[in-house]
Amino acid sequence: MPTDPVCGMELTSDDAVATVQRGGKTYYFCSDECRERFEKQPTIYTE
């Protein structure tokens, strides 16, 4: 089950509000706010 890397919420891929492709991986987000935070500083959430 995917987990939003910003807030840690578990969600299904169908429940995801947004996704981002980075480094060959798909990241799923519960909100546009979490996606925006991720896109501003992705290395915080991917390391």
Q: Please write the tens of the pLDDT for every residue from 10-32.
A: 999 899 999 999 999 999 999 99
Q: How many domains does the chain contain in total?
A: 1
Q: Kindly give, in sequence order, each residue whose CB lies less than 8 Å from that of residue 11, ignoring residues fewer than 6 positions away.
A: 1, 2, 3, 4, 28, 30
Query: What would the two tokens of residue 21 be?
Result: 């492709």
pLDDT for 15: 94
What is the domain extent for residue 27?
1-47
Query: What would the two tokens of residue 34 be?
Result: 């979490």
Q: How far is CA 22 from the centre of its chain?
A: 10
Nearest to 17 by CA among 34, 37, 5: 34
Model confidence, pTM: 0.90
